[in-house]
């Protein structure tokens, strides 16, 4: 008989991360420096709207300055670049975040590159990515950073473990794999990266001590694809239609939670797992930026 699985509660870890920021924020405020985060939201994507509102609310709750610049979906690349340029030169703004995805007529790579790397609190700029890759201090993409915080908080050791990362996005999969293979605490893992072109993914997932699913396919990982006592971190947040619910949809992860639950050692729920960590890490990066730019 298996022990009941440990539920890795992102809300608890996010609260801990935010608590740990309070001393730094107090020090900054005592010098009349208010850490400032500006988000740019282009268009009306409902999920992005919810996300940006939540960022703003949580930043303000911690005593940070937060605002959102909203642009029409038909705005031009030149307009967006001009705003980024202005924010790059605004000393009150320590962190700049352009909410992705942008409408398809934008060149997303050029937009990210236009952000001053010292204000790149998303960790998406090539300078941030390159610095992370070779182990230098850098801003780290918030979702993979949040996954590491969860594992660390619950004392889940990665050293010597086989971690299977599912997904190869620039935002999650690639930085996740890089961070886990780094030397030292929270790293030292042997990492396999699977993605949409991996045939027979179960061949790999069944060998995993830890699975990190970040592929955006609802309930892809099922009980038959895992070994007993695996740790699962589910990064997916997928809306699937559910006529029984008033809003018409429910949120599910990339993992079939109910089917895997009896077999796992530990698992993050969706919602309430990794999703809540992303904003906590963004606030942490904003405080880090304010410290580096001001002190």
At its nearest, how many Å lie between ligand GUN and the CB of residue 42? Answer: 11
At its nearest, how many Å lie between ligand GUN and the CB of residue 21? Answer: 18
The residues carrying an active-site annotation are: 55, 99, 122
Question: CA-CA distances (angstroms) from residue 16 to 112, 180, 277, 281?
Answer: 30, 22, 10, 11
For ligand GUN, the closer of residues 236 and 260 by Cβ is: 236
- Name the residues that contact ligand GUN, by CB under 6 A: 97-100, 122, 142-143, 278
At its nearest, how many Å lie between ligand GUN and the CB of residue 145? Answer: 10
For ligand GUN, the closer of residues 68 and 223 by Cβ is: 68
Question: CA-CA distances (angstroms) from residue 64 to 21, 29, 286?
Answer: 11, 9, 9
Cis peptide before 99 (omega within 30 of 0): no
For ligand GUN, the closer of residues 122 and 219 by Cβ is: 122
At its nearest, how many Å lie between ligand GUN and the CB of residue 95? Answer: 11
For ligand GUN, the closer of residues 102 and 252 by Cβ is: 102
For ligand GUN, the closer of residues 143 and 192 by Cβ is: 143
Is residue 270 within 8 Å of residue 10, measured between CB atoms?
A: no
- How far apart CA 89 and CA 114 sit, in angstroms, is 12
Beta-carbon contacts of 69 under 8 Å, excluding residues fewer than 6 positions away, are 38, 39, 40, 41, 83
Shortest Cβ contact with ligand GUN: which residue? 100
- How far apart CA 154 and CA 167 sit, in angstroms, is 23
Q: Are strands 249-252 and 238-241 parallel, antiparallel or unpaired?
A: antiparallel
Whose structure tokens read 């942008």?
102
Question: CA-CA distances (angstroms) from residue 133 to 141, 175, 181, 256?
Answer: 12, 8, 10, 32
At its nearest, how many Å lie between ligand GUN and the CB of residue 106? Answer: 13
């Amino acid at each position: 008989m298996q022990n009941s699985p440990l539920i890795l509660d992102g809300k608890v870890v996010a609260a801990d991360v935010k608590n740990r920021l309070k001393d730094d924020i107090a020090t900054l405020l005592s010098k009349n420096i208010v850490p400032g985060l500006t988000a740019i939201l282009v268009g009306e994507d409902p999920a992005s709207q919810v996300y940006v509102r939540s960022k703003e609310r949580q930043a303000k709750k911690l005593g940070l300055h937060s605002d959102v610049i909203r642009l029409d979906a038909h705005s031009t690349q030149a307009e967006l670049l001009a705003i980024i340029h202005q924010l790059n030169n605004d000393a009150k703004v320590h962190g700049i975040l352009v909410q992705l995805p942008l409408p398809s007529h934008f060149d997303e790579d050029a937009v990210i590159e236009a952000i001053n790397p010292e204000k790149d609190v998303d960790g998406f700029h090539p300078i941030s990515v390159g610095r992370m890759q070779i182990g230098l201090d850098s801003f780290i993409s918030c979702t993979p950073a949040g996954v590491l915080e969860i594992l660390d908080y619950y004392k889940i050791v990665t050293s010597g473990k086989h971690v299977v990362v599912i997904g190869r996005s620039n935002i999650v999969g690639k930085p996740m794999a890089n961070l886990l293979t780094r030397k030292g605490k929270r790293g030292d893992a042997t990492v396999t990266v699977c993605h949409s072109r991996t045939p027979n993914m179960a061949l790999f997932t069944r060998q995993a001590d830890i699975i990190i699913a970040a592929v955006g396919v609802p309930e892809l990982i099922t009980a038959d694809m895992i070994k007993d006592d695996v740790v699962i971190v589910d990064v997916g947040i997928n809306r699937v239609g559910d006529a029984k619910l008033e809003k018409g949809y429910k949120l599910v992860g990339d993992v079939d939670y109910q089917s895997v639950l009896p077999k796992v050692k530990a698992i993050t729920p969706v919602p309430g797992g990794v999703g809540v960590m992303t904003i906590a890490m963004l606030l942490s990066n904003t405080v880090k930026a304010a410290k580096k730019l001001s002190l």
